[in-house]
Structure 1
């Protein structure tokens, strides 16, 4: 193993989870992948992967080789990217994960524009309702909204974002406008299930006063676009990010409730790995993303 190709091959197997999936990723036949793995193990005189009926399990030596090898491959790639960037601009592949709704509306346009401005960069954008729980370590950048759970990732501020309690005017004709958070327990509510949070417990504060309300949730969904539409149809009260409901509030489709009571902010942040030196494409995209939300994010213009 005197170059990076064998390490890249092992990393492809690790990331794919099976020899068959790795074969598809590498454009090889399963038998060719098996043979090459055997050749690497023979060369090192060490078993790297245990193959069982339940799948693959890397041995201690295989795990060490992947972990240390991934660092070496990254350094190797960064060196050549830096040389190439001196002549022809940014190069390489950038993988980004973002929440479904926010990703569609705000991240996707930034990604497309950045790629157009930097044709040497290939970008893979993955949208998910739980971007932090789906192998976040495999992405260069993870866009996250709200409080950051314990993580070894490094956060960069992108844009401020509050959360509002809203309902359609048609619902407020059938139910009284709540005067305190406790009144929400008497109203039909819609909740968004995401990030394994306790989604039906809504928390408020006004000055030194604090309230926690367990709302009755007759409708639950993991897609913010769906619950926003339900709310606009008068089906219930929602607690939703400012970026998602600001337009509907401005148009009168939704009415903000309890404006004197503040809920926890859900600022937009971008997360990267804690590395001494990030690739130039990652750092440049981070700046590009931040600049698109300055001096104020579009939901506050």
Structure 2
């Protein structure tokens, strides 16, 4: 007979690309995962996982168990939450995904404060600059920085805060290399690229005052997937960066960085929350989203400008 521990165990396997990844998610050794999976299969009398390939693949029976098991766990969670709501409490497990830099600065403090205010809520915060690579079934709420043309089926997008993209450099760099007057001048400058979200990060798109778009392909000599590294390179005078307003606003106000190409607009990168229609109804998800939205209204990167 199956129990909820079995369902949670197999849900972790179903959400992982390999048994090794499942063992990390479950915080147990790979042999322990393999042994428990074999015991579960023997108890049920069916094969749940195809071990022939390098990547984990569920059998038809495994797909059935994963699908029905998630439904059972969600129903139990809903029941637990409904009963807690009658007592005026917020309970449950809240799984949040957020970009590395933005999550560290703006999401993590809210998560800690929210859990302290609601001790019966357990929060897992995963920071990653490749949110698209994190299966949507593994999180309740995802924070994305950047425009979303259309949310994936079954997801709801809620804009939390405006955020512009800016081109900037340190005064020392500009003193040594000069200040670009047009986007085309960037071809003669040292540009620094931030590789994130699988975007084409060396194609910088500008819109002139007359509305026409100008695209410039930069050839960075320095590039990183870490926004803090890119920002520090710029601060040290190594080149020109294209960064989110939230990340460089304090440096611009303090004069550590100088905004460039002011007449040319770049595509905005608003802060957006993504959540499933079912998860959106959970009290813990809604309450946390309210708490996070409250800290971003007005946006802290703009509220200190005066």
Under a length normalisation based on structure 2, what TM-score does the superposition of the two structures give? 0.89
2:240 corresponds to 1:237 = yes
Candidates 274, 277, 280, aligned match of 1:271? 274
Q: Show the 5 A alignment for 1:123-134.
A: 123-134=123-134
Aligned residue for 1:292?
295
Number of aligned residues: 296
In the TM superposition, 1:65-80 aligns within 5 A as 65-80=65-80
Aligned to 1:247, the other structure's residue is in SS state helix
Equivalent residues of 1:137, 1:273 under 8 A apart: no
What runs of 5+ residues in structure 1 fail to find an aligned partner?
Answer: none
Distance in 2 between the 1:126 and 1:61 partners? 30
Aligned to 1:253: 256
Change (3 A) 1:7 1:259: same
Deviation at 1:27, TM superposition (A): 6.2
Greater CA drift, 28-37 or 124-133: 28-37
Mapped contact 1:187–1:216 kept (Cα < 8 A): no
Distance in 1 (alpha carbons) for counterparts of 2:63 and 2:164:
42
Match of 1:96 in 2: 96
How far apart in 1 are the matches of 2:258 and 2:284? 42
Shift of 1:51: 3.3
Tell me which residue corresponds to 1:212: 215
| 1:14-55 CA-partner distances (Å, limit 9, x unpaired) | 235328945982869443442233102x2xxx4333333746
Name the SS of the counterpart of 2:172 in structure 1.
helix
1:58-89 deviations in Å (ceiling 9; x for gaps): 11232123123312320221112210232251
SS at structure 2 position matched to 1:199: coil
What TM-score does the superposition give when structure 1 sets the normalisation length?
0.90
Contact 1:191 1:238 in 2 (8 A): yes
CA deviation after TM superposition for structure 1 residue 57, in Å: 2.5
Bigger shift: residues 63-72 or 210-219: 63-72
CA contact (8 A) 1:201 1:214 kept: yes
1:167 deviates by: 0.7
2:140–2:279 Cα contact (<8 Å) kept: no
1:85 is matched with which residue? Answer: 85
* Cα shift readout 1:180-239 (whole Å, capped 9, x = no counterpart): 111111111001001111111101112322211111211000011111111111100001
| Contact 2:189/2:240 (8 A) holds in 1 | yes
Distance of 1:116 and 1:59 partners within structure 2: 41
Cα distance, 1:285 vs structure 2: 0.8
Aligned-partner Cα distance in 2 for 1:197–1:218:
18
SS for the counterpart of 2:51 is strand
Separation in 1 of the partners of 2:189 and 2:300? 31
SS in 1 for 2:163: coil
Q: Distance in 2 between matches of 1:93 and 1:72?
A: 15
